[in-house]
Amino acid sequence: MPDSSRRRFLQHAGLGVATLGVSAESLILAADKTPTPSDANPAAAEQVLLKLGPPPKAVKMPDDSKLTSPNPLGPAHRNGAPFRGKATPPFEPGQTMVVSGRVWGFDTKRPLPGAVLDVWLVDIHGRYSTKEGDFKNRTRLLTSETGYYEFETNHPVAYRTGDLWRSAHIHFRIARESYKTLVTELFFESDPKQDVDPIFNPALVRPVKKETINGQAVETVAFDIVLEAAA
C-alpha cells in the first residue's frame, strides 16, 4: 500500500463507525462466518487462573459518601469517543496525570460495574478537539466488576472563553442502567482561576499527588463518583 494511501486509511480507521457513516444496523456478522477456533485446554487455563490468586476483595463505599454534584454539560461534548485507557495522543506535551476511582450506587452502597464514562478536556493550549477533528483528549471507559476505572491524560489548564475564565477541570458524563445519568466535572486542589470561574464547584475538588511510576514523574488523582438511582 503506498504511503499516502496508508496514511488515509489510518486516519479514517481512527474516526469510528459513526463518523464514517456506518449505521449500527449494518454491523452484522456475515452468515458464513464461524467461531474463532481455540486449542486452549480448559483444565490448564483453570490452573493459570488459580495461580493469579483469589478474586478482588469486596469493596465498601465510604460511610460519609454523598451523591456526586452535577455540573453543566457545556458545548464541547462529542458522542462516539473511542474506548481507551489513554485520552491524550502519543507524545502530547503536558504533565502526565492518572485519574482513577470507582462508581457507586447511592441506594445500594455498592460499586457499579458496567457504567460508561465519557471523559473530555482541553490540551495545554486550552483547546478542545473540534467536531471536524479527531478525538484528542477524549475517551470512554467501562467500569470493572468492582466499579473501578482508570485513565491517563495530562493535567488540563485554565482557559478563557470570551470574558469567562474556566479553571482547570475534566468533564465526565456517567451513564448506568437503573441510575440517573450524571454530568459533572473534576477540579484540582490549588489550581489557579478557581476564584473567578463561575462554574467552579468546591465539592468536586480533589487533591493531586505527585508520584514516580516507571521512572516517570506523574500526578495521580482519585475521583469516586456516586450515582442516584432512577425513579
Residues in Cβ contact with 198 at an 8 Å cutoff, skipping those fewer than 6 apart: 164
Looking at every residue in the chain, the average pLDDT score rounds to 87
pLDDT of residue 15: 41
pLDDT tens, position by position, 68-115: 999 999 999 999 999 999 999 999 999 999 999 999 999 999 999 999
Q: What is the pTM of this model?
A: 0.80
User: Do the bridges between strand 225-227 and strand 182-188 make them parallel or antiparallel, or are there none, so unpaired?
Assistant: unpaired
Residue 43: left if φ>0, alpha if ψ -120 to 50, beta else—which one?
alpha
pLDDT above 60: residue 202 = yes
- Reduced to 3 states (helix: H, G, I; strand: E, B; else coil), residue 180 is coil
pLDDT tens, position by position, 108-136: 999 999 999 999 999 999 999 987 778 99
What DSSP letter does each residue of 115-147 carry, written as one string?
-EEEEE---TTS-PPPTTS--TTEEEEE--TTS
Domains of the chain: 59-227 (2.60.130.10)
Specify whether the CB–CB gap between 206 and 98 falls below 8 A.
no
pLDDT tens, position by position, 159-178: 999 999 999 999 999 999 99
CA 134 to chain centre: 16
Residue 149 to residue 155: CA distance in whole angstroms = 18
